[in-house]
Structure 1
Amino acid sequence: MTRRILRLGFELAVLIAFWWFGGWLARATGLPLPGGVVGLGLLLALFASGAVRPALLQGGAGLLLAEMLLFFIPALMSLLDYGPLLRSEGWKILLVIMCSTLLVMLVTALSVEGMYRWRSRHESR
């Protein structure tokens, strides 16, 4: 049990380090991207190159995904302070949320499909 907790802590620390480094890199280079996106891109590059195996971080990533709703509740509760804005511009906000969610899902699906095909080609060699 202790070993599992230590491994989970290590995995979370590595993921947080990528997030932090991505933020630093984005600020240092002036990239117009959030640090989390840059960090995930770096991690994806390491996965694709084979330098890091995805199974190494599976537990920490699974924990973050399982508890993802907790990250969004404060943002949703803050919307209650903006009732008049939501009544006048709510449909535009909803449209942007729906389009961005669709784009994220599409890019994620294409990335996973591309990585799956790349991996299957390279494993067959």
Structure 2
Amino acid sequence: MLRAIFLLLVCQLAGEAIHRATGLALPGSVIGMVLLVCWLALVPRERPGLAAVAGWLTAHLSVMFVPAAVGLIDEGAALSAYGIGLVIATVVSTVLTLVVTAVVFRWALARFVAEDGV
């Protein structure tokens, strides 16, 4: 379990280092995720340990939101200035995501069910 946690942290750190060194437009965490996927493709024996750690982390996901909530409280001035715009952008992007997901799901369902003849 410690090895899997170490692997996650190393990939995160490597992604941040690559981001800062190269100035890529991708966030360091995304680069780290790509590195992790590449590592798992090359070393499949890491998957069970990483699956256990990922399950534990997602079971305690609510704890991960505490720093974000504290950060929001710290940004009171920015929220009062741009709060309405942020709320509108969040609602519009959420609705748009739901609509696009539903349309793609219906398309895929119609296409693949028709091919299977079910």
Specify the alignment match of 2:87 in structure 1: 94
Specify the alignment match of 2:19 in structure 1: 26
Whichever residue aligns with residue 14 of structure 2, its letter is F
Alignment CA distance shift 1:28-1:85 (3 Å):
closer
Alignment CA distance shift 1:17-1:89 (3 Å):
same
For 1:36-51, what aligned pairs fall within 5 Å after superposition? 36-47=29-40, 49-51=41-43
Q: TM-score by structure 2 length?
A: 0.61
Higher Rg of the two aligned structures:
2
In 2, are the aligned partners of 1:12 and 1:61 still within 8 Å (CA)?
Answer: no
Structure 2 unpaired stretches of 5+: 102-118
What RMSD over aligned residues (CA atoms) do the two structures have, in Å?
2.8
Q: TM-score by structure 1 length?
A: 0.59
Q: Distance in 2 between matches of 1:88 and 1:26?
A: 30
1:56 is displaced (CA, Å) by 3.6
Structure 1 unpaired stretches of 5+: 1-7, 107-125
Whichever residue aligns with residue 60 of structure 1, its letter is V
Deviations along 1:29-67, one digit per CA (max 9) or x if unpaired, are: 2212221110101222334x4533532411111222222
